């Protein structure tokens, strides 16, 4: 495999006028507040004219870029208190803008046909009509929603600070030391030495057990607030989540039904791993870390080259994009303790760029994660950046996002397996692929079951840390088909997705995106027109629900279990190949 020079540090200087200086960023956000105040001062009895609507649409994009920039700065050595204040200001800006748009929607709804025709004749941007003619919330509902959004953001910040303030006492190389939450989470799952992984995992969980009451209070408060908002608006969070993600309940049910039917075939791998380790059953931690037993390393430049090579047979443009992205300074791969576990891709739609953060440690898993985040960046690049009066939070389908990211990830892992001649390394990579598949279908299923059941339980009153732990363990046991010896008691603290202010049920989109991506990858090998169809599919994100886009571009009905079962069959084939190796 060829390698090349690949910059591993991102460039944040050319994205916003303020650059990466936190004080200047604060001033930039203040200037956005002034723009909003000016718009609010222009409010009349009639709706905004087209120039004012364009100003509002531009402001929405600027606020979204500021929010992405905030997430980038959280990984740098910056003033965390000032950043938290900036994040609160951004959240307040979004709430006020949503209220302003709601008022415009209300004005349009009260216009006579003649008034509307006259107003509309001066509006060339027809997308604004779609945004303003949509069903609007009442002023009471909008006020409640804005209050909930701002309060949830504050609770998310409290969670982030509480997690950041955690210190884990461990002994490494015979010396006692302190690790941050991010450092200990990474070491517990990714350290090369198994005894070190186990030691850090135990100490991290001991630390979380002592602080579990605080995190239980935060999570209880967030869910209680969402439930109260549901009562006012007569809505349901799961139903709204499905709508935002572009699928119907029958699609979700069809996917989970296919997963349930396939559990006996999927748990075969868990039994194989138990036999290999000389145990009756393996634990959750065994499963999440066994892929680290391979000593094979992939330096960052080699990973970039491999991802590019993997995508070339599918779409030469994707392959070229990978190299251009790295050379343009979109990716920050250098390990830092300020980075959260995992990684993220922050879009800057007006600038037509993205920024990717991850702790790259030369492991196969970090190379896989790099491919995953680059898939997000490719998706953002394909999306149409048309002026709109809605935030992407309200229209961006995480199901489509995860399909795009896991598409890149799986293509890369398959490429590694196909191009590895060493049988032991091939088996290790295949094992890591299978374990990742089980994570999408079992671990994430457990997270979904837990969240869904906690929402129901919380309606009867707050639950303490012990009750949360019990509910989490029950959900995991069901999702893994009772095939593990021990489960993870503090998933509900470690998974940041549970505490995100604007995205409840941020779990099933991963499972759906995973299965949809491997189903589409299979079609990419057979359909000569796949590249055109796939690009069209991604470019129309948010214009039609995912369910309709998949049927439009690929003629697939996601409400039928057939497609999901065919996708899962590819995983059972991987398990059979692993058994033979």
List, in sequence order, every residue forming a beta bridge with 544; answer none if it has no partner: 541
Other beta carbons less than 10 A from residue 352's beta carbon: 10
Residues 6+ apart with CB under 8 A from 243: none
Q: How many residues does the chain have?
A: 581
pLDDT greater than 60 at residue 292: no
pLDDT greater than 90 at residue 488: yes
Q: What is the mean pLDDT of residues 145-155?
A: 87
What's phi and psi for 215, nearest 5 deg? -65, -35
Tens digit of each residue's pLDDT (9 = 90 or more) over 23-55: 999 999 999 999 999 998 887 777 888 889 999
pLDDT greater than 50 at residue 242: yes
Q: Are 369 and 514 in a shared domain?
A: yes
Q: Are 110 and 256 in a shared domain?
A: no
Q: Show which of 116, 135, 154 is a domain's final residue.
A: 135
Categorize the per-residue pLDDT at 419 as very low, low, confident or very high, splitting at 50, 70 and 90.
Answer: very high
Measure the CA dihedral 37/40/41/47, to 10°: 150
Q: Is residue 170 situated within a structural domain?
A: no
Q: What is the mean pLDDT of residues 96-105?
A: 90
Distance CA 300, CA 356 (A): 14
546-554 vs 508-524: helix crossing angle, rounded to 10: 10
Q: Is residue 67 situated within a structural domain?
A: yes
Distance CA 203, CA 178 (A): 11
Other beta carbons less than 10 A from residue 53's beta carbon: 23
Query: What is residue 5's predicted lDDT score, i.e. its pLDDT?
Result: 74
Q: Is residue 349 situated within a structural domain?
A: no
Distance CA 2, CA 303 (A): 10
Categorize the per-residue pLDDT at 1 as very low, low, confident or very high, splitting at 50, 70 and 90.
Answer: very low
In DSSP notation, 324-379 reads HHHHTT-EE-S--TTSPSSEEEEEETTTTEEEEEE---SSHHHHHHHHHHHHHHHH
Range in 75-84, 103-112, 182-191, 284-293 the model is least confident about: 284-293
Give this prediction's pTM.
Answer: 0.85
Burial of 34 (0-12, 13-18, 19+ CB in 10 A): exposed
Distance CA 516, CA 522 (A): 10
Q: Is residue 61 situated within a structural domain?
A: yes
Q: What is the mean pLDDT of residues 333-347?
A: 88
**Residue 221 has which token pair?**
């408060």
Query: What is residue 136's predicted lDDT score, i.e. its pLDDT?
Result: 55
What's phi and psi for 414, nearest 5 deg? -60, -40
Average pLDDT, the chain: 91
Q: Is residue 227 situated within a structural domain?
A: no
Distance CA 180, CA 236 (A): 37
- Domain range enclosing 34: 22-135
Q: Are 375 and 501 in a shared domain?
A: yes
Pairing of strands 331-332, 353-358: parallel
For 541, the enclosing helix (H) or strand (E) is: none
Distance CA 295, CA 191 (A): 11
Q: Show which of 135, 154, 187 is a domain's final residue.
A: 135
**Residue 364 has which token pair?**
């196969």
Other beta carbons less than 10 A from residue 199's beta carbon: 17
Q: Show which of 87, 117, 135 is a domain's final residue.
A: 135
Q: Is residue 196 situated within a structural domain?
A: no
Q: Are 124 and 250 in a shared domain?
A: no
Tens digit of each residue's pLDDT (9 = 90 or more) over 186-208: 899 888 888 999 999 999 999 99
pLDDT greater than 80 at residue 137: no
Q: What is the mean pLDDT of residues 311-317?
A: 96
Q: Is residue 219 situated within a structural domain?
A: no
**Residue 148 has which token pair?**
């909930």
Q: Is residue 517 situated within a structural domain?
A: yes
Q: Are 110 and 241 in a shared domain?
A: no
Q: Give the chain's domain count.
A: 2
CATH number at residue 559: 1.10.1370.20
């Amino acid at each position: 495999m060829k390698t090349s020079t690949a910059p591993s540090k991102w460039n944040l200087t050319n994205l916003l006028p303020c650059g990466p200086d936190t004080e200047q960023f604060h001033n930039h956000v203040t200037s956005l507040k002034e723009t909003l105040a000016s718009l609010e001062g222009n409010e009349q009895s009639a709706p905004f004219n087209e120039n004012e609507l364009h100003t509002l649409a531009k402001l929405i994009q600027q606020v979204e870029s500021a929010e992405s920039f905030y997430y980038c700065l959280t990984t740098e050595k910056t003033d965390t208190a000032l950043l938290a204040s900036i994040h609160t200001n951004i959240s307040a800006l979004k709430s006020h803008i949503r209220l302003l748009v709601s008022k415009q929607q209300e004005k349009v709804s009260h216009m006579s046909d003649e008034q509307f025709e006259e107003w509309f004749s001066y509006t060339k941007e027809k997308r604004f009509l779609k945004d303003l003619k949509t069903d609007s919330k009442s002023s009471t509902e909008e006020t409640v929603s804005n209050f909930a959004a701002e309060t949830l953001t504050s609770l998310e910040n409290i969670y982030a600070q509480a997690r950041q303030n955690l210190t884990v006492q461990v002994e490494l190389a015979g010396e006692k030391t302190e690790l941050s939450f991010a450092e200990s989470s990474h070491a517990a799952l990714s350290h090369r030495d198994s005894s070190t992984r186990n030691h850090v995992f135990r100490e991290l969980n001991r630390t979380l057990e002592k602080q579990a009451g605080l995190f239980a209070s935060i999570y209880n408060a967030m869910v209680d607030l969402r439930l109260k908002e549901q009562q006012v608006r007569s809505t349901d969070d799961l139903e709204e989540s499905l709508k935002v993600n572009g699928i119907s309940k029958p699609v979700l049910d069809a996917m989970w039904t296919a997963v349930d039917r396939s559990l006996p075939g999927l748990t075969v791998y868990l039994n194989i791993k138990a036999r290999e380790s000389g145990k009756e059953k393996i634990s959750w931690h065994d499963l999440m870390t066994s892929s680290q037993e391979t000593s094979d390393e992939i330096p960052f430049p080699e990973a970039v080259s491999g991802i590019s090579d993997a995508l070339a047979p599918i779409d030469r443009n994707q392959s070229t994009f990978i190299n251009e992205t790295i050379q343009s300074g979109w990716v920050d791969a250098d390990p830092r303790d300020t980075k959260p576990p995992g990684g993220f891709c922050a879009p800057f739609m007006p600038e037509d760029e993205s920024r990717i953060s991850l702790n790259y440690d030369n492991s196969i898993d970090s190379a896989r994660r790099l491919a995953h985040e680059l898939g997000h960046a490719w998706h953002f690049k394909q999306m149409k950046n048309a002026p709109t009066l809605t935030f992407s939070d309200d229209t961006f389908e995480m199901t489509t996002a995860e399909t795009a990211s896991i598409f890149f990830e799986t293509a890369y892992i398959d490429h590694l397996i196909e191009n590895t001649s060493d049988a032991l390394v091939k088996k290790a990579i295949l094992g890591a692929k299978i374990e990742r598949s089980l994570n999408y279908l079992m671990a994430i299923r457990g997270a979904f079951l837990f969240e869904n059941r906690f929402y129901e339980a919380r309606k009867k009153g707050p639950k303490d840390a012990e009750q949360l732990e019990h509910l989490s363990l029950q959900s995991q046991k069901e999702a893994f088909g009772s095939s593990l010896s021990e489960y993870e008691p503090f998933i509900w603290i470690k998974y940041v997705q549970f505490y995100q202010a604007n995205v409840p049920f941020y779990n099933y989109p991963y499972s759906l995106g995973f299965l949809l991506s491997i189903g589409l990858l299979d079609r990419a090998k057979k359909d000569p027109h796949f590249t055109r169809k796939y690009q069209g599919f991604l470019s129309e994100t948010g214009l039609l629900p995912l369910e309709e886009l998949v049927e439009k571009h690929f003629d697939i009905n996601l409400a039928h279990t057939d497609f999901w079962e065919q996708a899962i069959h590819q995983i059972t084939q991987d398990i059979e190949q692993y058994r033979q190796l």
